[in-house]
Amino acid sequence: MQNELFGVVAHDNKNDELRTAEEWSQEAQSLRAALHLHAHRYYNLDAPTIPDAEYDRLFQRLQKIEIEFPDLKTEDSPTSRIGGAALTEFSQVQHAIPMLSLNNGFEDEDVLAFDRRVREGLETQGEIEYAIDLKFDGLAINLRYIDGVFTQAATRGDGTTGEDVTENIRTIRSIPLRLQCENPPAILDVRGEVLMFKADFETLNQRQRENEAKEFANPRNAAAGSLRQLDPKITAQRSLGFFAYGIGYLEGAEKPASHRALLDWYRQIGIPTCQESAIVQGAANLLEFYRGIQLRRTQLAYEIDGVVYKVNRFAEQARLGFVSRAPRFAIAHKFPAEEALTQVLDIEVQVGRTGAITPVARLAPVFVGGVTVTNATLHNEEEVLRKDIRVGDTVIVRRAGDVIPEVVASVLDQRPLHTTSFLLPEHCPVCGSAIVKVQDETIARCSGGWLKCAAQRKGGLFHFASRKALNIEGLGEQLIEQLVDKNVVTTAADFYKLGVLGLSELDRMAEKSAQNILLALENSKATSLPRFIYALGIRHVGESTAKDLAKHFRDMDHLMAANEEQLLQVNDVGPVVAQSILHYFSDTLNVELVRQLIAAGIHWPQVEALDLSSAVFAGKSIVLTGTLPTLSREQASALIEKNGGKIAGSVSKKTHFVVAGDDAGSKLLKARELGITVLSETDLLEMCQD
């Protein structure tokens, strides 16, 4: 009986004993067909029509039949995806048509020159029709289908001979084991890229960490490592993806007329292709696509290192031909590299405003992600030891987008002799106080406090003057550094005692600039209670907690007098935050500082008691990500808070909504993964209007 909705065969298990060999064979066949179809709907069309549990049931039924009747097992059976026997080595595969590489360009000029060569080659003045693909950062693979059945997969190797990775590729669920067509070609070689999606890469590294195994430096390495497993069962546990972008040998079917037609055909017969592609006329449009995708790069679910431009019509490709080992009809337009190799010259530690000790790698200058990098954070001691980064090592440095540069991994086979593991210093390099590590915390801290440690003092003062705190324009890091070193300023209250004379004595400070700073100081006196609380730099009290505290206590006296029980009543304040606030105000110097600042003239409007319990976002935690079309981040936050919501910095299971704009990155991915409702600016405005 054919079930219309599920397209699968249902049958009565009780009659199993009575069935003929022919009936078993028929059932196995229809189960296979159904599983192929559902895998295709699930992985490639993103439109499953049966629940996962039903898929599993069909899968297990097929497995059971195949175990009982091994003769019924076919090469294209979906059950083979769980990984067969391990190999001792990969065998070699000769490619029917060599797998070549692409010429690269980085600058606009390289693309214009490519377009000129193409037009010369085709002897035309007119604009060329180009197909644009993304340049996936994975590994090139040739998939061979014989009579529509997946039979072999090979890596690119040296272009002529690759390695047979058939059993590993078989575990990739988006790759069809049988083509979805009536009359498949006798032989079809599909060319494309195996890659690992960013989310799967994060999950894999998380698992590696839990198993205390080495993490992968990037999705490409993870994909390569997973594909080069001799045991396909390991590959089966790693989620890999695939996008087709070309064709090799073809027999028994007419080759489509263009690159676009080829990808359309692939899509029809169930071979995964990427949705992000375009057909354009002329070079100017190539560059426009490049810039557009560069902006959206971080939002993509997979990594790319550029785009590939191809003359669309195959007849024109053939006329242009090849030069040495690369086609004349295509070019890769690469993004500036986000990763580069360099040497660790030293590992120093920096002391933050709360005394947090951060190891920083001093690097031989290297150009990466469009800038020259000389330092990169190593986050904390644990991370340096886990990654085993040592002075003298050659390391991979990464700078993606505007993210601060970081050291990804050491290249172990280039490690010089006699290096030693990183050792956290016992004393603060700035004030000499002991460095201590509280149990269960990854961060080590200087125990000197701001009174003893100039680094903490500078950090605290810089925080006080920063944009989200008292926003004192012109009072930057370098100026504060000098003011502290010359003992002109010790606490934030000293800022308000500065005069033109004192400031003009500093290096390179003109009287005009001194006056501007005094004006900025004067302006900063009119502030808000949340900003003031945040500016104090109490540990664990960020912008959002400061707002909650201000809303709850409504003035400084009440906050300073609060006991633990009262603090715990504040929205989102737990024992750790409460302790930290109590600890801060138990120090009379801090209480004195607050008094002095208020005496210097810092003031704020009285905080009104508001009842937001029935507002749209009452009790909801909301994360903002990306650039919204019209609202600034501050405006969107204010709107959400006015409607009872709370802004959170990162997406978790506790997040109720994510408001996403352009260039939303990993937070949006995470939200999708967790099934959290994603709102646009329009949604947000509409909800707030109601």
Active site residues: 135
CB 517, min distance to ligand IVH, A: 53
Q: Where are the beta strands (DSSP E) in 501-630?
A: 621-625
CA distance 466 to 474: 10
CB 119, min distance to ligand IVH, A: 20
CB 417, min distance to ligand IVH, A: 36
CB 494, min distance to ligand IVH, A: 58
The two tokens of residue 8 are 């699968």
Q: Pick between residue 101 and residue 442 the one whose CB is nearest to ligand IVH.
A: 101
Angle at 19 between CA 13 and CA 22, to 5 degrees: 125
CB 208, min distance to ligand IVH, A: 25
Per CB under 6 A, residues contacting ligand IVH are 100-102, 133-136, 140, 156, 193, 245-246, 308, 327, 332
Pairing state between β 339-351 and 322-323: unpaired
Alpha carbon distance, N-terminus to C-terminus of the chain: 52
Tokens 């999708």 -> residue: 672
Helices 108-121 and 283-296: crossing angle in degrees, nearest 10, is 140
CA-closest candidate to residue 192, choices 148, 133, 149: 133
Distance of CA 26 to the CA centre of its chain: 46
CB 513, min distance to ligand IVH, A: 52
CA distance 152 to 145: 7
Q: Pick between residue 275 and residue 563 the one whose CB is nearest to ligand IVH.
A: 275
CA-closest candidate to residue 132, choices 337, 306, 272, 305: 306
CA dihedral in degrees (370, 375, 381, 387; nearest 10)?
A: 50
The strand pairing partners of 92, in sequence order, are 163
Q: Pick between residue 157 and residue 644 the one whose CB is nearest to ligand IVH.
A: 157
The two tokens of residue 296 are 């959206």
Q: Which residues of 222-259 are buried (b: 16+ CB within 10 A; e: fewer)?
A: bbbbbbebeebeebbebbbbbbbbbbbebeeeeebebb
Q: Pick between residue 27 and residue 163 the one whose CB is nearest to ligand IVH.
A: 163
What is 127-174 written as a DSSP string? PPEEEEEEEESSEEEEEEEETTEEEEEEE-TTSSEEEB-HHHHTT-TT
The two tokens of residue 329 are 């009809």
The strand pairing partners of 435, in sequence order, are 446
CA-closest candidate to residue 275, choices 264, 284, 285, 283: 264
CB 134, min distance to ligand IVH, A: 6
Tokens 């993509």 -> residue: 300
Q: Pick between residue 141 and residue 578 the one whose CB is nearest to ligand IVH.
A: 141
CB 304, min distance to ligand IVH, A: 8
